[in-house]
């Protein structure tokens, strides 16, 4: 069965890049535009892994991760964070919120897929 | 045969229509539909052969009196007249004729060059003569008849 | 979808982000200190940078990076967004827009300008960071520290005796060359509960280790308590792994990249191990567990006996974990504050934006236009149906009629909703004007503040697209000619900073856009003189103030003594007026000397429908745009006066107004109609003059769908467009200005026509 990835990013550009990369790698991809939508979509989509941006309107990546981890049903899902640079403070905050790992933007497709493979069975 | 004529008979199917006692034809590919006469709204400052415009399913379609356009007498339209809706470049135009007479399938051999006659009007639009079952049918180039529409397409 | 399409999406998105950026900066400039505004501004630049990075647009990335860094200082309250700071940022936003355009369309940007701004941005970031140093940067440094001490905690003492190594290899992944010497790493890995809480998985880490080379693994279950005391959320197991890999220690550590903070980890190459710890055997022997990968295939939760589900991982737990692990209490409390603040901000932002943002979809404009056309046809069909029912039904109160009325209601509602799809806020155009103002203020050396109001007022997209050009010209004009130099303003007791106010609002089914400046106002003496010099008016003409003001809309009129670089460009207010009129709009000016001028434009909300008066002229049905009509009159014989050979005037409240026979002008009849047999429509036309248009009869008022004549025919002088009436026939829409101009003896021109959707 195809692995299902939920991506959460407010940038249409990045969403499309994620979509193309993930679909080419044989993943099923579900997308949300911000943390609030991410939490909504999560309920119905039941993904195997989540890839989320940090800077987003309405609910940012930190809040979104905390929201996922608070949810009994989904708190064990691996969450990868997209960060623009290897910003130690942001990584740290993301980890504290409950992120599983991170991907540095601009990501190349191999790195993205590697990271996903690493945190999923 | 010239390239232009080849284009006009592309598909080798033509629609023939009657004006008075003469027959003309155009490529069936340029004909969108044939409909009955409905009164047209006259246009100010229009040339005499433009009878006005009608509503064709929401679009404004100019109606041309083909008889006048081809240099013959003015048509007094009745319910028996028909409008051939033709595509010329990007625009549609309604051609008022007496009746549609035939759909012709032709080969290149059917087409004879236009005879060398004096009148410039006929020379301009006539692209050839078809002799079919003893009838003489004149092949018309709509692009030449409605250059203002053609030029807007360019 | 390929990369080029994504790139196109990126540039579209950049445009939106740039608009967002500018509007946010302008809000800040107006004193808005809402953290969400700062966040939105930051996010816009951040987003552009992110996308630009993906496409290798290095110039864009590096500028955005510097900009972002400075914005981050504002966001973290290290830099106060004063007017001076915002001035730099607004200019930077302009440069960012230029760089984006250059990246899209090629072309170059003003590099000196970008470099200057980069320096200014950096200065802002650095200058302020130093000032705030004691408070701010330290926690940042401390926060990254826990990363380092944590792995050192791992226990170094391990017993080798009693090991029952199970050779562990994956044929699929084992591509190590066996012949060479390959170092073996000894790994001790003891996950904390937080590791599971964050969705990491010990068994996956072991799997990844196994991919590095030949691996043996031992599971230490000593800490596993009796079942009744077992907490399913706790991490009891630890592993000792030895893996032979040419990736070395670094390769092994990289497997634990995501996990190293949440576990005790010790990695060393095997030689040390043998030499150092071989003899030590204080610890009980470890038990080997078979490592079954098949468990992995059925989902993420299978981690051996222990259920490695996440702990109660909310923010508090995460913070607590950080606390114990790092023993830096300060960091934790700061992080807690951050988390709380972030949560609060997120909630607030959510509340603020949930209603505003809504859900949107992007639709191809062609689809919308097709829908609009279809609805237009529906309206016409419905009207035709109603008409034929009325004609065939003498009772007038049949159930068919009631049904038809409902249908009419529904049709009208559908039409309104569909039109609303094309409606867009004027915001993007207004935002572009902000840049125009900045640039022109820079060039003229004037200090200008642009205030915009009602930018969310919606109008049809076609109208918006055509609005930018006349508006730009008017703004240039207002700043260049309207506002005085700062010194002069000061001398006059005015605020040295001039104000230009751009307002949009809906008024009786139209959009009204006002452009007001607080400058000198129209210099009537100068305008009058100029008009006399240009033979526009007679030297002794007696003109009202309003009439003088309106002279500036005359062709070729320019009040500037010399044609300046700005307002010159061969475009006068007459062109502005004409382009507004081409949109079915009107423009007027009112001015007070010393206090400024106000230009008021009124435009239709859509170019797809129009409110018209349906009239009969020489047996033909015509539609006259309602907006042009001032009033309708029933002429009396005593009010009609012949004037010269063929002119006739009608007297209205003691003034005389030329009578225009529409049927004659349009060549619908060859002789003049008798005014007493018809109705006069008093219309306002270009140049402010009034005319009485003679028509035979008024049929009524109605909204009509505008149809293009040009699509299948050609432009017809005196006719703006066509429409289809209830009887299914085409009716022509009168071009009032062209008809009035023709009545003045000018031939009917071809340059003014209503746009139509076909």
Whichever domain contains A28, its CATH number is 3.40.50.2300
Q: Do chains A and B touch (3 or more CB pairs under 8 A)?
A: no
Whether A46 is in a domain gets the answer yes
**C353 at the A interface (CB within 8 A)?**
yes
pLDDT in tens, C349-363: 444 444 444 567 777
Residue C156: CB atoms within 10 Å: 13
**A55 at the C interface (CB within 8 A)?**
yes
Distance from CA of A7 to the nearest CA of C (A): 16
Whether C221 is in a domain gets the answer yes
N-to-C CA span, chain B = 25
Residue that is last in its domain, among C110, C132, C154: C132
Q: A30 near A5, Cβ under 8 Å? A: yes
In this structure, what are the phi and psi dihedrals at residue C216, rounded to the nearest 5 degrees?
-120, 145
Q: Verify that C412 and C526 share a domain, yes or no.
A: no
Residue that is last in its domain, among C582, C604, C626: C604
**A109 at the C interface (CB within 8 A)?**
no
**A99 at the C interface (CB within 8 A)?**
yes
- Over chain B, what is the mean pLDDT? 84
Q: C238 near C188, Cβ under 8 Å? A: yes
Note the pTM of the prediction, 2 decimals.
Answer: 0.49
Residue that is last in its domain, among C604, C634, C667: C604
Q: Look at C713 and B53 and tell me if their CB atoms are within 8 Å.
A: yes
Chain C residues with CB-CB distance to B64 below 8 A: none
Q: Verify that C598 and C578 share a domain, yes or no.
A: yes
Whether A76 is in a domain gets the answer yes
**CA dist., res. C617 & res. C188, Å (int):** 98
**CA dist., res. C140 & res. C217, Å (int):** 38
Classified as helix, coil or strand, A49 is strand
How many domains does chain A fold into? Answer: 1
Chain C residues with CB-CB distance to A13 below 8 A: 6, 9-10, 13, 47, 50-51, 54
* CATH code where residue C277 lies: 3.30.70.120
The DSSP-derived string for B8-68 is HTTTSEEEEEEETTEEEEEEGGGEEEEEE--PPBP-TT--TTEEEEEEETTEEEEEEEHHH
**C349 at the A interface (CB within 8 A)?**
yes
Whether C139 is in a domain gets the answer no
Question: Exposed, middle or buried, C288 (CB in 10 Å: 0-12/13-18/19+)?
Answer: middle
The whole domain housing A40 covers 1-85
- Identity of the residue in C50, C200, C353 whose CB atom sits nearest the CB atom of A14: C50
Q: Look at C208 and A118 and tell me if their CB atoms are within 8 Å.
A: yes
The whole domain housing C264 covers 171-300+313-354
Q: Verify that C649 and C536 share a domain, yes or no.
A: no
Q: C154 near C121, Cβ under 8 Å? A: no
Distance from CA of C430 to the nearest CA of A (A): 23
Chain B residues with CB-CB distance to C712 below 8 A: 59-62, 91-93, 149
Distance from CA of C439 to the nearest CA of A (A): 30
Whether A94 is in a domain gets the answer no
DSSP state of C186: E
Q: Look at C197 and A92 and tell me if their CB atoms are within 8 Å.
A: no
Q: Verify that C379 and C335 share a domain, yes or no.
A: no
**B148 at the C interface (CB within 8 A)?**
yes
* CATH code where residue C591 lies: 3.30.565.10
Whether A95 is in a domain gets the answer no
Distances (CA, A) of C142 to A91, B92, C17: 14, 75, 34
Structure tokens at A6: 């939920």
Query: Within chain C, which residues score under 70 in pLDDT?
Result: 1, 128-181, 270-359, 393-398, 508, 555-571, 685-688, 745-758
**A46 at the C interface (CB within 8 A)?**
no
Q: Look at C143 and A63 and tell me if their CB atoms are within 8 Å.
A: no
Q: C448 near C479, Cβ under 8 Å? A: yes
Classified as helix, coil or strand, C426 is coil
Question: What residues have CB less than 8 Å from B4, skipping those under 6 apart?
Answer: B127, B141
**A76 at the C interface (CB within 8 A)?**
yes
> Comparing B125 with A64, which gets the higher pLDDT?
A64
Chain B residues with CB-CB distance to C730 below 8 A: 40-41, 52-55, 60
pLDDT of residue C145: 42
Q: C601 near C584, Cβ under 8 Å? A: no
pLDDT of residue C175: 47
Classified as helix, coil or strand, A74 is coil
Chain C residues with CB-CB distance to A98 below 8 A: 197-199, 310, 313, 318
pLDDT in tens, C187-243: 888 888 777 877 777 778 888 877 777 788 788 777 777 777 777 777 778 888 888
Whether A51 is in a domain gets the answer yes
Helix (H) or strand (E) run with residue C623 in it: strand C620-625
Closest by Cα among C436, C493, C441 to C467: C436
Question: What residues have CB less than 8 Å from C694, skipping those under 6 apart?
Answer: C659, C660, C661, C662, C663, C673, C675, C678, C679, C680
> Comparing C171 with A71, which gets the higher pLDDT?
A71
- Identity of the residue in A62, A118, A121 whose CB atom sits nearest the CB atom of C342: A62
Q: Do chains C and B touch (3 or more CB pairs under 8 A)?
A: yes
pLDDT of residue C135: 40
> Comparing C147 with B82, which gets the higher pLDDT?
B82
pLDDT of residue C328: 42
Q: Verify that C580 and C457 share a domain, yes or no.
A: yes
**B153 at the C interface (CB within 8 A)?**
no
- Identity of the residue in B45, B50, B60 whose CB atom sits nearest the CB atom of C707: B60
Classified as helix, coil or strand, B143 is helix
Whether A116 is in a domain gets the answer no
Chain A residues with CB-CB distance to C303 below 8 A: none
Whether C156 is in a domain gets the answer no
Whether C360 is in a domain gets the answer no
Chain A residues with CB-CB distance to C252 below 8 A: none
Chain A residues with CB-CB distance to C53 below 8 A: 84, 105-106
Name the interface residues of C facing B (CB cutoff 8 Å).
373, 376-377, 380, 620-621, 666-668, 707-709, 711-714, 716-719, 722, 724, 728-732, 748, 758
Distance from CA of A53 to the nearest CA of C (A): 10
**CA dist., res. A22 & res. A42, Å (int):** 18
Q: Look at A70 and C313 and tell me if their CB atoms are within 8 Å.
A: yes
- Identity of the residue in C6, C300, C350 whose CB atom sits nearest the CB atom of A16: C6
How many domains does chain C fold into? Answer: 5
Chain C residues with CB-CB distance to A100 below 8 A: 198-200, 258
> Comparing A58 with B93, which gets the higher pLDDT?
B93
Which one of A1, A32, A69 makes the best mutation probe of the C interface by having the most chain C beta carbons within 10 Å? Answer: A69
Q: Verify that C660 and C518 share a domain, yes or no.
A: no
Distance from CA of C258 to the nearest CA of A (A): 5
pLDDT of residue C745: 63
Q: Look at A78 and C300 and tell me if their CB atoms are within 8 Å.
A: yes
Q: Verify that C45 and C127 share a domain, yes or no.
A: yes
Q: A36 near C355, Cβ under 8 Å? A: no
Q: Verify that C414 and C435 share a domain, yes or no.
A: no
Q: What is the CA radius of gyration of chain A?
A: 13
Whether C147 is in a domain gets the answer no
Q: Look at C730 and B54 and tell me if their CB atoms are within 8 Å.
A: yes
Chain C residues with CB-CB distance to B148 below 8 A: 714
- The size of the A-C interface in CB pairs under 8 A is 171
Q: Verify that C470 and C592 share a domain, yes or no.
A: yes
Could you tell me whether strands C510-517 and C596-604 are parallel, antiparallel, or unpaired per DSSP bridges? antiparallel
Whether A121 is in a domain gets the answer no
Q: Verify that C410 and C441 share a domain, yes or no.
A: no
Residue B101: CB atoms within 10 Å: 16
Whether A40 is in a domain gets the answer yes
Whether C628 is in a domain gets the answer yes
């Amino acid at each position: 069965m195809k692995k299902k990835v939920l991506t959460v990013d407010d940038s249409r550009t990045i969403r499309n890049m994620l979509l193309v990369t993930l679909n080419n790698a044989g993943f099923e991809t579900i997308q949300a535009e911000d943390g609030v939508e991410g939490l909504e979509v999560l309920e119905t989509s039941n993904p195997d892994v989540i890839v989320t941006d940090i800077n987003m309107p309405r609910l940012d990546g930190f809040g979104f991760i905390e929201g996922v981890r608070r949810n009994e049903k989904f708190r064990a899902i691996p969450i990868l964070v997209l960060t623009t640079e290897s910003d130690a403070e942001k990584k740290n905050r993301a980890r504290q919120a409950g992120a599983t790992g991170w991907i540095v933007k601009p990501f190349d497709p191999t790195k993205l897929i590697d990271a996903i493979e690493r945190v999923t069975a | 045969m010239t390239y232009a004529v080849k284009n006009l008979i592309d598909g080798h199917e033509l629609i023939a229509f009657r004006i008075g006692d003469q027959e003309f034809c155009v490529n069936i590919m340029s004909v969108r539909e044939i409909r009955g006469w409905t009164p047209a709204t006259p246009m100010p400052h229009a040339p005499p052969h433009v009878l006005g415009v009608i509503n064709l399913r929401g679009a404004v379609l100019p109606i041309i009196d083909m008889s006048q356009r081809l240099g013959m007498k003015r048509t007094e339209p009745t319910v028996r007249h028909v409008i051939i809706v033709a595509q010329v470049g990007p625009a549609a135009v309604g051609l008022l004729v007496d009746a549609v007479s035939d759909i012709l399938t032709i080969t290149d051999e059917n087409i004879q060059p236009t005879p060398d006659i004096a009148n410039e009007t006929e020379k301009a639009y006539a692209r050839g003569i078809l002799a079919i079952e003893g009838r003489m049918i004149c092949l018309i180039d709509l692009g030449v008849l409605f250059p203002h529409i053609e030029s807007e397409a360019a | 979808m390929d990369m080029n399409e994504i790139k196109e999406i990126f540039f579209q998105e950049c445009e939106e982000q740039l608009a967002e950026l500018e509007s946010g900066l302008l809000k800040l400039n107006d004193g808005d200190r809402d953290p969400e505004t700062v966040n939105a501004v930051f996010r816009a630049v951040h987003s552009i940078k992110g996308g630009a990075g993906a496409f290798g647009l290095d110039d864009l990335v590096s500028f955005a990076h510097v900009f972002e860094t400075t914005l981050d200082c504002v966001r973290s309250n290290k830099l106060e967004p004063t007017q001076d700071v915002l001035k730099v940022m607004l200019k930077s936003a302009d440069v960012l827009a230029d760089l984006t355009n250059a990246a899209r369309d090629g072309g170059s940007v003003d590099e000196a300008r970008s470099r200057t701004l980069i320096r200014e941005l950096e200065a802002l970031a650095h200058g302020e960071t130093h000032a705030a140093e004691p408070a701010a940067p330290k926690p940042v440094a401390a926060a990254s520290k826990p990363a380092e001490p944590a792995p050192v905690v791992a226990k170094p003492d391990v017993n080798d005796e009693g090991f029952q190594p199970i050779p562990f290899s994956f044929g699929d992944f084992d591509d190590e060359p066996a012949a060479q010497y390959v170092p073996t790493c000894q790994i001790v890995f003891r996950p904390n509960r937080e590791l599971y809480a964050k969705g990491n998985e010990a068994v996956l880490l072991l799997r990844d280790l196994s991919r590095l080379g030949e691996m043996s693994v031992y599971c230490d279950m000593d800490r596993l308590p009796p079942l009744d005391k077992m907490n399913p959320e706790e991490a009891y197991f630890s592993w000792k792994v030895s893996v032979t890999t040419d990736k070395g220690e670094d390769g092994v550590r990289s497997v634990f990249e995501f996990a190293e903070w949440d576990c005790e980890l010790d990695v060393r190459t095997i030689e040390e191990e043998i030499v150092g710890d071989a003899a030590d055997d204080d610890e009980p022997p470890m038990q080997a567990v078979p490592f079954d990968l098949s468990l992995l295939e059925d989902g993420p939760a299978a981690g051996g006996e222990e259920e490695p589900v996440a702990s109660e991982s909310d923010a508090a737990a995460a913070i607590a974990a950080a606390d114990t692990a790092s023993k830096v209490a300060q960091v934790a409390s700061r992080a807690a504050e951050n988390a709380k603040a972030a949560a609060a901000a997120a909630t607030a932002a959510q509340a603020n934006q949930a209603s505003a943002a809504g859900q949107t979809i992007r639709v191809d404009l062609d689809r919308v236009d097709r829908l609009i056309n279809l609805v237009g046809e529906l309206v016409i069909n419905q009207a035709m149906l109603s008409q034929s029912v009325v004609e065939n039904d003498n009772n007038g109160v049949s159930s068919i009629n009631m049904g038809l009325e409902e249908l009419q209601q529904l049709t009208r509602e559908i039409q309104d909703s569909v039109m609303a799809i094309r409606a867009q806020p004027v915001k993007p155009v207004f935002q572009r004007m902000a840049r125009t103002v900045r640039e022109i203020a820079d060039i003229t050396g004037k200090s200008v503040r642009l205030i915009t109001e009602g930018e969310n007022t919606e109008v049809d997209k076609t109208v918006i697209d055509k609005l930018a050009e006349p508006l730009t010209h008017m703004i240039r004009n207002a700043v260049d000619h309207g506002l005085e130099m700062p010194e002069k303003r000061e001398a006059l007791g005015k605020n040295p900073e001039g104000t230009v106010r751009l307002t949009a609002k809906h008024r009786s089914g139209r959009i009204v856009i006002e452009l007001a400046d607080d400058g000198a106002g129209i210099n009537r003496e100068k305008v009058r003189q100029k008009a006399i010099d240009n033979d526009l008016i007679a030297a002794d003409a007696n003109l009202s103030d309003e009439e003088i003001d309106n002279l500036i809309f005359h062709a070729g009129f320019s009040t500037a003594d010399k044609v300046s670089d700005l307002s010159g460009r061969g475009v006068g207010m007459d062109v502005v007026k004409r382009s507004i009129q081409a949109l079915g709009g009107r423009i007027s000016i009112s001015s007070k000397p010393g206090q400024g001028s106000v230009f008021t434009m009124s435009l239709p909300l859509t170019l797809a429908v129009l409110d018209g008066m349906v009239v009969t002229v020489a047996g033909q049905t015509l539609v006259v745009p309602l907006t042009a009509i001032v009033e309708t009159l029933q002429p009396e014989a005593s009010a009609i006066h012949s004037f010269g050979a063929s002119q006739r005037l009608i007297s209205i409240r003691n003034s005389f107004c030329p009578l225009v026979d529409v049927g004659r002008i349009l060549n619908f009849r060859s002789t003049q109609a008798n005014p007493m047999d018809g109705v006069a429509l008093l219309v306002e036309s270009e140049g402010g003059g009034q005319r009485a248009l003679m028509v035979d009869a008024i049929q009524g008022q109605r909204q009509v769908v505008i149809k293009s004549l040009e699509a299948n025919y050609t432009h017809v002088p005196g006719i703006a467009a066509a429409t289809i009436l209830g009887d299914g026939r085409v009716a022509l829409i009168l071009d009032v200005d062209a008809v009035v101009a023709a009545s003045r003896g000018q031939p009917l021109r071809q340059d003014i026509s209503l746009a139509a959707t076909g």
